[in-house]
């Protein structure tokens, strides 16, 4: 029955003239894909159904490459995606599909022709979120997308790549090693069957899945007419949070981001801004939420839960220090110190001052 359902949905998806919205309408009317197939000759006699043997070959190829097909009435289908107006009837998934129902997923998008600063920031932001065990979603494009995926993996988190082509297609070529790593430590997703080649019209459709899977979308760099802005607009239509990272005022790559900020997007300077906004929405897991707000017991209650925090706070007791100064005094590795500083910043215990130094925030008794 399950294989038959996948076959029926894929045959409908590949039939020219049918799309997710019309199929959703027909499903409400006829309940099953098989019933839709039986009714179509009467309802749409001008349509020619996709060849059944071709559909079967695509499903066989999907299984042979270690991927799975998931239709929208299976429990494992991402529930967030069902909230949008045009969810794909069938998803092709390779890797850990359970990540798709993990709350919250955070999308990060931006231009392919990013600045070096934008690339560094996206990588660090994703790494910091990864240290909080939060999963990022992006589109595996070169530029900001790649930095987001790589940063999340480096930080110990997972990442989801949504493709605008078949899972087996080597695109973009420079990201094949990253793609393989995502299969091992994350998940690939596409609404397109194996063999589907990339095409400009497919990427805007891919973007609705990136935002639809996520609770919030962070735009790092993007022009006024960029695909990143399309994703942000889709996120707003889907009732998702939109975050924007400000850039240089004279850089064309910042124009779209600044427009989003003018329209009310949440400004992002660090992972703390993202986590705190999502914590207020009640969708952040406990391991992240517990360091997003200082408990009623104050700083002393937080420090035992954060490795290395006591030594950092003690070192800053005599005044602001640079990261290098803290490394010398606290005997932590750079990775350990980065994680500790992020969590202390999320708690409001420390702050970053002009010049990049860190200082304690005065606590109100």
pLDDT of residue 352: 77
pLDDT of residue 333: 84
User: Per the structure block, which two tokens stand in for 310?
Assistant: 């006591």
**184-203: pLDDT as tens digits:** 999 999 999 999 999 999 99
Could you tell me the pLDDT band of residue 291, with boundaries at 50, 70 and 90? very low
User: Per the structure block, which two tokens stand in for 207?
Assistant: 């973007």
Strand 216-219 and strand 241-244: the pairing is: parallel
Could you tell me the pLDDT band of residue 298, with boundaries at 50, 70 and 90? very low
Burial class (CB in 10 A: 0-12, 13-18, 19+), 50: middle
**340-350: pLDDT as tens digits:** 787 777 666 88
- Cα 65 to Cα 68, 94, 106, 122: the distances in Å are 9, 9, 28, 31
Let me know the angle formed at the C-alpha of 87 by 6 and 214, rounded to the nearest 5 degrees: 120
Cα separation, 338 vs 320, in Å, equals 16
Domains and CATH numbers, the chain: 1-51 (no CATH), 98-280 (3.40.50.450), 294-360 (1.10.10.10)
Cα separation, 139 vs 134, in Å, equals 17
pLDDT of residue 1: 36
Task: Give the residue, 157 or 292, on which the prediction is more confident.
Answer: 157
The fraction of the chain above a pLDDT of 90, given in percent, is 65
pLDDT at 109 over 60: yes
User: Per the structure block, which two tokens stand in for 109?
Assistant: 């998008």
pLDDT at 237 over 90: yes
pLDDT of residue 293: 40
Strand 90-95 and strand 68-71: the pairing is: antiparallel
pLDDT of residue 47: 94
| Residue partners of 327: CB distance under 8 A and separation at least 6 | 334, 337
Could you tell me the pLDDT band of residue 178, with boundaries at 50, 70 and 90? very high
**38-84: pLDDT as tens digits:** 999 999 999 999 999 999 999 999 999 999 999 999 999 999 999 99
pLDDT of residue 349: 81
pLDDT of residue 365: 43
pLDDT of residue 145: 95
Does the pTM surpass 0.85? The reply is no
What kind and span of H or E run contains 160?
Answer: strand 159-162
pLDDT of residue 308: 83
Q: Tell me the three state secondary structure of residue 88.
A: coil
> DSSP class of residue 197?
P
User: Per the structure block, which two tokens stand in for 115?
Assistant: 């600045």
Q: Is the link from the previous residue into 365 a cis peptide, with omega within 30 of 0?
A: no
Q: Poorest-confidence range of 1-5, 229-233, 247-251?
A: 1-5
**120-130: pLDDT as tens digits:** 999 999 999 99
pLDDT of residue 361: 80
Mutual angle of helices 334-346 and 323-330, in 10-degree steps = 110
pLDDT at 329 over 50: yes
Q: Tell me the three state secondary structure of residue 334.
A: helix
Task: Give the residue, 299 or 107, on which the prediction is more confident.
Answer: 107
- State mean pLDDT over 233-246: 95
- Decide if 194 contacts 65 (C-beta within 8 A): yes
Cα separation, 256 vs 230, in Å, equals 10
Cα separation, 79 vs 85, in Å, equals 13
pLDDT of residue 282: 52
The overall average pLDDT reported for the chain is 88
Mutual angle of helices 227-237 and 202-213, in 10-degree steps = 50
């Amino acid at each position: 029955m399950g294989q038959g359902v996948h076959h029926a949905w894929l045959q409908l998806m590949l039939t020219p003239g049918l799309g997710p919205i019309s199929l959703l309408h027909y499903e409400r009317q006829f309940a099953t894909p098989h019933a839709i197939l039986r009714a179509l000759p009467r309802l749409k006699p001008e349509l020619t159904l996709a060849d059944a043997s071709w559909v079967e070959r695509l499903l066989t190829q999907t299984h042979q490459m270690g991927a799975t097909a998931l239709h929208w009435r299976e429990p494992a289908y991402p529930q967030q995606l069902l909230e949008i107006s045009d969810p794909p009837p069938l998803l092709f998934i390779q890797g850990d599909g359970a990540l798709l129902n993990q709350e919250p997923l955070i999308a990060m998008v931006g231009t392919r022709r990013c600045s070096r600063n934008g690339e560094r920031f996206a990588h660090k932001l994703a790494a910091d979120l990864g240290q909080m065990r939060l999963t990022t979603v992006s589109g595996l494009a070169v530029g900001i997308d790649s930095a987001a995926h790589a940063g999340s993996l480096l930080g110990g988190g997972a990442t989801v790549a949504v493709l605008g082509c078949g899972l087996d297609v080597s695109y973009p070529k420079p990201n094949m090693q990253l793609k393989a790593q995502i299969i091992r430590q994350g998940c690939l997703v596409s609404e397109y069957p194996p063999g589907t080649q990339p095409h400009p019209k497919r990427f805007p459709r891919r973007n609705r899945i990136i935002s639809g899977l996520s609770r919030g979308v962070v735009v790092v760099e993007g022009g006024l007419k960029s695909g990143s802005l399309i994703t942000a607009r889709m996120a707003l239509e889907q009732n998702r949070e939109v975050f924007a990272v400000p850039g240089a005022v004279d850089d064309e790559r910042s124009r779209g981001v600044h427009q989003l900020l003018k329209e009310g997007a949440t400004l992002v300077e660090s992972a703390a801004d993202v986590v705190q906004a999502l914590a207020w929405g009640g969708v952040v897991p406990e391991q992240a939420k517990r360091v997003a707000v200082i408990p009623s017991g104050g700083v002393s209650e937080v420090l035992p839960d954060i490795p290395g925090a006591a030594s950092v706070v003690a070192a800053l007791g005599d005044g602001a220090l640079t990261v290098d100064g803290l490394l010398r005094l606290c005997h932590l590795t750079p990775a350990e110190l980065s994680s500790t500083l992020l969590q202390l910043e999320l708690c409001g215990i420390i702050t970053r001052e002009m010049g990049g130094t860190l200082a304690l925030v005065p606590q109100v008794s």
